[in-house]
Structure 1
């Protein structure tokens, strides 16, 4: 006979302490059994079977007294001689689900019977021999104490799981909170997806978002969904449906970690409570999973908060955004103080879907909604689509500013497009009353959105109006004229503006201002006296022109 010398697991103290049930390997490592010099001669690969109880027996049909999960201890005295009856003895133990058979080689046998070894190997039932006498009653007492202790501990842990999710629900936590709590409690990566296999929220544990979400849709479609929580699919995912009153909204998935323990009852409890919390969150929160997921992904892309370029691509792809052979463009709609970003989010999403442009849409900040467009080389230029988008946004938000950033070729570079679009939006001057009442603020007569090429000196000064250096320059340059106009009720600033706008042509300036040439000359002389400068200097005129622009934009709202 060939013996299996596979060693048992490392010793444990008291109980497993890891939230998992006591296993055959754990029991064999206990000092009370280790003193008998246990040796595994069959079923060594199944030492991870849980031990739920210990049963001492000298019967030839012990299976009739078992319920499954028992460690069966015997001296071997009642074992039959005939191989057929030995096989039946082992078959009954295997059929009932006994954890293992332990036989003492002290009284009747000094080596395990060949028929018994063959039968246990055939049924993959762990067979353990003891070379020395062991007090079976003491084994029973120790193991039962550990089993009951584990059960009590498991009850406490389950109670804590329920309490944690109840607290989440009571404080109105969103889906991302529930997914994060599940990952923290289980130590596994948890993903929430919708019905079309878009990964809405992912909380990694012991891995990365890239590891979890790469090729997500393909892997997800290979994993079926049942009506209950169970391990499914080729990847061994623990899957729980998320539904309410028979309507399924999606599912929450717990991913196995390489080399980690199998999913246990507590993992099932965590996932089921997660599914329940998600159902409540979906009913309570007006924002859909999809909107919330797009919003979170956009903020991370715009803020470059991903750990790696691969993570950014994996997360975007899991939400349905193409990540190969396309360019990316950021579009911002700044509502200039108007609320209700969710309505704008929905509008942008609908318009982009109607245009057939894959995109992520979401509110980046209060009053600022964004879209990240994935542009295919074979599609029409983006300007027509953005113009349509801008017109739709301005129709419901007449005072809004629509801006675009630069095109980029890689998703991780999209943050640059967002930054440029934001700089453009900050530089757009407020619409004059006539444009506002017309209902649309246009960047140029033929388009309703703004881009970097539309930003001139006046817009740049407007964007920088909060800089005290700009404020100081305007006041130092023009303050004496403004003070004079205020004290003497003159209009020298207007005269200076007419002169500078006419590029120093006094005749044109007088005509535009409805002034006689003599009056214009007198006023310009007063300006030169107050400023102590010669207006015939081209450089000085340029300085004054910039100062006037700054002076004007500093008085805009």
Structure 2
């Protein structure tokens, strides 16, 4: 992708190869960009340089006192010259050791030419390449601008903008907020763990500059992202080439991407944190991460601690979707943050809000779950259900915890007795059968056991099904069952006799009574009420 000429490129040109170039210092800086080539024999070349120039010299002006060569090199380094090429044969037969030492001290690339070359040929060749690269960069810049303008006009998501920036640069791109939390990232197929591991510490070591520029010990290319309140965060390109100079095309990409992101934030409420939480929650619950290390790195980069914490999956199931009740996850997240609870909160599906708690004290989960349940009832009404999965010590187990929380939430009938939250142990046989009520095998079983009673009641306006329900609910205690059914004992006994005759069963058998009770529970879970009830 690089659109600039480097010292390494210049040294490979035939016009320089003829001079038998040899690098004496600054080997690690050969990928520096060459903005221009400047031929000079002056002792104070810095007065005529602006930075990025590759200086060619025969060494003619060098002082007799070679100790003063350090001042010469300091001038080049301070002004930001790309490097220094010395042609031997005029002033020196060998580059002075003091000049080599000075260049090494300031990490300035120093190249000697053992044979003479025509400097005019070097400048013409290099300048032609530089101008061609600049022209190509201008053309490419127009294409980049068109791409991001199109994204902005169609209201592209921030994830699309970040993905496009990574695709165009060929390097991982991270969008972080001011707290150095990774909101979004596009790693181009790379694993999360080596890229975003210990992100907060590494990010804080790279200060934000006034414009798009490399920063920090890892040489990240960083662009500030703003909104109506000022600086919001940063868009960061992690270029593995570790070039000391910013790739001009990469700078263009980040500049245009930042404009698109800023426009998105200015257009209205930007729930980017919720989007980030939602994405990570879904990836955790659906086991999309490559490895536990990847999952841990991504969650920690978003601000969720894992080591030394107990993790709990919480699911909030509700029926209010859209309208004024949008962004309920935002309100829940703010409440948890206000009370100091570290968590990921996001809508995982319509009518479902997921919360992943990270608690330093495992025993603290119940008060937090109580608080979430109270908030859910206040915001969503009594039909909301809060379910908590078992705690785990590692993110690799959170998918199982989440699954148990979902099963628990699905088993609870909305409007159940006022409880703030439920756990898997709260699920009894009626709730379990309710979850399994769509299983055709259970449906056939219930119909097979109870059809004759249902048909009898439908034909005669009877209450045999109600009598059977009272009987099995009372665990076979006929006196208690008759009282609950509002019948005399004689009338109730007669109905039991009729039930036994129609079904061909013995109601005194505990096993048969249990089978009928299960059939009634399956029937009730499907919403079919008995006649007369």
TM over 0.5: yes
Deviations 1:265-323 (A, max 9, x none): 22222222222222122223534322222222222222222222222222222332222
1:545 matches 2:528: no
Matched, 1:178 2:161: yes
Task: Specify the alignment match of 1:512 in structure 2.
Answer: 484
1:230-281, CA deviations, whole angstroms, 9 ceiling, x for partnerless residues? 2223333322221235611122222342656753222222222222222122
1:373 maps to 2:348: no
Q: 2:273 matched to which residue of 1?
A: 290
1:243-262 matched pairs, under 5 angstroms: 243-244=226-227, 247-257=230-240, 262=245
Matched ranges for 1:458-477 at <5 A: 458-477=430-449
Structure-2 residue corresponding to 1:485: 457
The yes-or-no answer on 1:496 pairing with 2:468 is yes
Alignment of 1:1-400 (within 5 A): 18-34=1-17, 36-40=18-22, 42-43=24-25, 45=27, 46-53=29-36, 69=52, 79=60, 83=64, 97=81, 99-101=83-85, 103=87, 112-114=92-94, 119=99, 122=102, 124=108, 126-129=110-113, 131=115, 142-205=125-188, 207-244=190-227, 247-257=230-240, 262-336=245-319, 338-339=321-322, 342-377=326-361, 381-398=364-381, 399-400=383-384
Structure 2 portions without partners, runs of 5+:
none
Task: Check 1:127–1:552 CA distance in 2 against 1; reply closer, same or farther (3 A cut).
Answer: closer
Q: How far, CA to CA, are the matches of 1:167 and 1:96 in structure 2?
A: 37
Question: In the alignment, is the contact (CA less than 8 A) between 1:347 and 1:393 conserved in 2?
Answer: no
Aligned residues: 519
Inter-partner Cα distance in structure 1 for 2:458 and 2:436: 26
CA–CA separation in structure 1 for the residues paired with 2:367 and 2:80: 71
Q: Is the 8 A contact 1:282 1:288 kept in 2?
A: no
Alignment partners' CA distance in 2, 1:393 and 1:60: 76
CA contact (8 A) 2:219 2:244 kept: no
Deviation at 1:358, TM superposition (A): 1.7
CA distance in 1, matches of 2:528, 2:463: 20
1:442 maps onto 2:417 in alignment: yes
Give the direction of change, closer, same or farther, for the CA distance of 1:513–1:90 in structure 2 (3 Å limit). Answer: closer
Check whether the contact 2:348–2:354 (CA below 8 A) recurs between aligned residues.
Answer: yes
Partners of 1:545 and 1:407 in 2: CA distance: 34
CA contact (8 A) 1:352 1:358 kept: yes
* SS of match in other structure, 1:83: coil
CA distance in 1, matches of 2:303, 2:238: 20
Give secondary structure in 1 for the equivalent of 2:413.
coil
Distance 1:215 1:318 in 2: 7
User: 1:194–1:249: 8 Å Cα contact kept in structure 2?
Assistant: yes
CA contact (8 A) 1:54 1:140 kept: yes
SS at match of 1:305: coil
- Say whether the 8 Å CA contact 2:38–2:56 is kept in structure 1: yes
Give the Cα separation in 2 of the matches to 1:93 and 1:214. 38
TM-score, length-normalised on structure 2? Answer: 0.85
TM-score relative to the length of structure 1? 0.82
Instruction: Measure, in 2, the Cα distance between the counterparts of 1:83 and 1:93.
Output: 19
- Say if 1:206 and 1:536 are closer, same or farther in 2 by CA, change over 3 A: closer
Say whether the 8 Å CA contact 2:7–2:31 is kept in structure 1: yes
Contact 2:387 2:406 in 1 (8 A): yes
In structure 2, how many angstroms separate the alpha carbons of the residues matched to 1:364 and 1:115?
67
Q: Deviations over 1:413-471 (max 9, x none)?
A: 1222111110001111233xxxxxxxxx436xxx3211112111110111011111111
Identify the residue that residue 452 of structure 1 maps to in structure 2. Answer: 424
- Distance in structure 2 (CA, Å) of the matches to 1:41 and 1:101: 9
Moved more, 475-484 or 506-515: 506-515
CA displacement 1:65-92 (0-9 Å, x = unmatched): 8766555667x6x946973799699778
Residues 127 and 312 from structure 1, CA distance in 2 versus in 1: closer, same or farther, beyond 3 angstroms? closer
Query: Offset of 1:209 from its aligned partner?
Result: 2.1
1:41/1:117 contact within 8 Å kept: no
Which protein has greater RCO, CA pairs closer than 8 Å, 6+ apart? 2
Q: Could you tell me how far apart the structure 2 residues matched to 1:37 and 1:491 are?
A: 109
Q: Gapped runs of 5+ residues in structure 1?
A: 1-17, 432-440
Paired with 2:40 and 2:375, the residues of 1 have a C-alpha distance of 81
| Aligned-residue RMSD, C-alpha | 3.5
The residue aligned with 1:436 is none
Query: d(CA) in 2 for partners of 1:526 and 1:332?
Result: 46
CA distance in 2, matches of 1:536, 1:186: 78
Contact persistence 1:63–1:96 (CA under 8 A): no
